[in-house]
Amino acid sequence: MKQIFSNYAANENNPKWKYMIKRQKQLYPRNNDIRSEFERDYTRLIHCNAYKRLKHKTQVFFSPESDHICTRSEHVTHVESISYTIARYLGLNVELTKAIATAHDIGHSPFGHEGEKVLSEIAKSEISESFWHEKNGLGYVDKIELLEDNLKNKQNLNLTYAVRDGIISHCGEINENHLKPREEYIDLENYQIPNQYMPYTWEGCVVKIADNISYLGRDIEDAIALGILDEHLEELYQLLNYDTNEVINNTVIINDLIYDLCKNSSLEKGLCFSDEIFNLMKEIKKFNYKNIYFSERIRPSSQYFKLVIHQIYNTLKKMFKEQETLENMDKMTKFYPKLVSGFKDWLSYYWDLPRKEFLKNDVIFSIQEEKSYCKAIIYYIAGMTDNYAIEIYNEIIGF
């Protein structure tokens, strides 16, 4: 076991420790709790609704008939497994990597990255803000997701800084080698673009690179199973330097990448692959974009996602009437009962109107202010599963 990062792991001996475990508010105490701070974050995450909904959100392939095609939830499990293996070998805190990995994609919208693009366009146009899933993930764990405390009050998740930082800093879409954590403790609200800062911890860097490892091979495996790569298999075998008698297996690809990373990483160089493997990963990514993500087979679903999300957004936005918004929403219930009742009930947890006494979370929306109302719609749509978004769309267009 290499363990060369153990002196820099997230623990009480680390100079950054007091910031790593810092919460925005004091978390209610328990006299019989045996969990660490990061273990407590992990269990808070797996009990929240946004985590539960990941099993019905697209990873790459929308609504496959096969139960064996990767969903967002399964991707999260892959990232957790990969980051655990790397962190344990290097001597880092596996409880922290587990919590970050579990939460890293909690901000993903329905329909995967295509849905994210649509919401990004809407956010820029309607509220002059950026939307990307890492930032939305931080927003969800900080402001949207609620849990019941020991007094039966609904409160925000209130996670540690290290986990929150790992969520917004995890972007795995960038081709990077030699990852090292930043030294600065920053206000995470200062993030303006994806990948603006490195994670604050080595554990956050591990999850960031595990995210990259996890999807490359799995997307290929799924695309082969669905027949999308039938005409490109020869090119793929040459790229991977596989014999045509070998099976392209995601677990083998992942194992080779993990081994190379652990073998080449050091405190001086950071988390890094060999030049050969790093270049191979870039070539695999190019292959995937060309033959999977931008394939003709994928394109029709992208157009459908845009239609669904825009229709839901526009329908809800038209209900805004400043002081008369609630009244107007009630009038529209007869046409869109599931949409209106669902949105109104959800919004009541966060608006600046009288709320139920058990709600102890922060008020974040003003229902009589248009920009705030529109932002609430974006948050609401982002939390939907694929199936629920389609169900709502069908209600809107149906009679």
Q: Is residue 266 classed as helix, strand or coil in its secondary structure?
A: strand
The answer to whether residue 124 is domain-embedded is no
| Average model confidence (pLDDT) across the chain | 94
Q: What pLDDT sits at residue 204?
A: 98
- Rounded alpha-carbon distances, angstroms, from residue 180 to 8, 58, 165, 204: 11, 31, 14, 10
What local confidence, expressed as pLDDT, does residue 249 receive?
A: 77
User: Is 166 within the bounds of a domain?
Assistant: yes
pLDDT of residue 28: 78
pLDDT band at 201 (very low <50, low <70, confident <90, very high): very high
Claim to verify: residue 163 and residue 243 sit in the same structural domain: yes
Residue 219's SS3 state is: helix
Q: Give yes or no for residue 354 having a pLDDT over 90.
A: yes
Question: Among candidates 38, 8, 33, which has minimal Cα distance to 23?
Answer: 38
| Confidence check: pLDDT of 29 > 80 | no
- The pLDDT value recorded for residue 63 is 75
Q: What are phi and psi of 154, to 5 degrees?
A: -85, 125
Residue ending a domain, choose from 268, 293, 318: 293
Per-residue DSSP letter, 324 = G
Q: Which candidate, 98, 90, 83, places its Cα nearest to that of 5?
A: 90
pLDDT average, residue stretch 187-193: 94
Collect contacts of 225-233 with beta carbons under 8 A, ≥24 apart: 225/66, 225/68, 225/69, 226/61, 226/64, 226/66, 226/69, 228/291, 228/292, 228/295, 228/297, 229/291, 229/292, 232/287, 232/291
**Same-domain status, 275 and 352:** no
Determine the pLDDT at residue 189. Answer: 94
**Segments forming the whole domain that contains residue 274:** 6-106+145-293
pTM above 0.85, yes or no: yes
Residue 89 pLDDT exceeds 70: yes
What percent of the chain lies above the pLDDT cut of 70?
99
Give domain status of residue 85, yes or no. yes
Give the mean model confidence (pLDDT) for residues 268-292. 94
Residue 140 lies in a domain: no
The answer, yes or no, to whether residue 250 has pLDDT greater than 90, is no
Closest CA to 86 of 212, 268, 226: 212
Who wins on pLDDT, 366 or 62?
Answer: 366
Whether residue 268 lies inside any domain: the answer is yes
Give the pLDDT confidence score for residue 171 in this predicted structure.
Answer: 87
159-183 CB burial, b ≥16 within 10 A, e <16 = bbbbbbbbbbbbbbeeebbebebee
- Which of 238, 264, 293 terminates a domain? The answer is 293
| CA dihedral of 56, 60, 65, 68, whole degrees rounded to 10 | -80
Tens digit of pLDDT for each residue in 131-161? 999 999 999 999 999 999 888 999 999 999 9
Same domain flag for 215 and 197: yes
| pLDDT range class, residue 174, cuts 50, 70, 90 | low
> Is residue 217 pLDDT above 90, yes or no?
no
Cα–Cα distances in angstroms (integers) from residue 363 to residues 345, 352, 359, in the given order: 14, 6, 10
C-beta neighbour count of 300 within 10 angstroms? 10
The domain boundary, picked from 246, 278, 293, lies at: 293
Mean pLDDT of 29-41: 88
Give CA angle at 139 (138, 142), nearest 5°.
80
Same-domain status, 288 and 305: no
Residues 19 and 161 in one domain: yes
Number of domains in the chain: 2
- Concatenating the DSSP letter of every residue in 76-107 gives HHHHHHHHHHHHHHHT--HHHHHHHHHHTTTT
Handedness of CA 228, 234, 239, 242 (dihedral sign): positive
| Res 31: pLDDT | 79
> How far, in Å, CA of 99 to CA of 163, rounded?
7
How far apart, in whole angstroms, are the C-alpha atoms of residue 253 and residue 297?
Answer: 25
Q: Are residues 201 and 169 in the same domain?
A: yes
Whether 155 and 253 share a structural domain = yes
Which tokens in the block code for residue 143?
Answer: 């402001």
392 and 254 co-located in one domain? no
Same domain for 317 and 339? Answer: yes
Residue 135 lies in a domain: no
pLDDT band of 279, cuts 50, 70, 90 = very high
User: What pLDDT is stored for residue 172 in this prediction?
Assistant: 65
Residue 7 is predicted with a pLDDT of: 96
Higher pLDDT: 139 or 247? It is: 139
Res 348: pLDDT: 97
274 and 362, same domain (yes or no): no
| SS3 label, residue 337 | helix
Q: Are residues 11 and 56 in the same domain?
A: yes
The confidence score (pLDDT) of residue 66 equals 77
Q: Write down the pLDDT at residue 1.
A: 61
How is 99-130 classified by DSSP, letter by letter?
HHHHHTTTTPPTTHHHHHHHHHHHHHHHTS--
How many angstroms separate the Cα of 213 from the Cα of each of 80, 169, 171, 277? Answer: 11, 16, 12, 11
Q: Which residues contact 372 (CB under 8 A, 6 or more apart)?
A: 365, 366
**Is residue 123 one of the residues assigned to a domain?**
no
Single-letter amino acid code for the residue at 355: R
CATH code, domain with 234? 1.10.3210.10
Integer-rounded Cα Rg, in Å, for the chain is: 22
Same domain, yes or no, for 171 and 305? no
pLDDT of residue 33: 81
| 1 in a structural domain | no
> Can you state the percent helix, strand and coil of the chain, rounding each to 5?
55, 5, 40
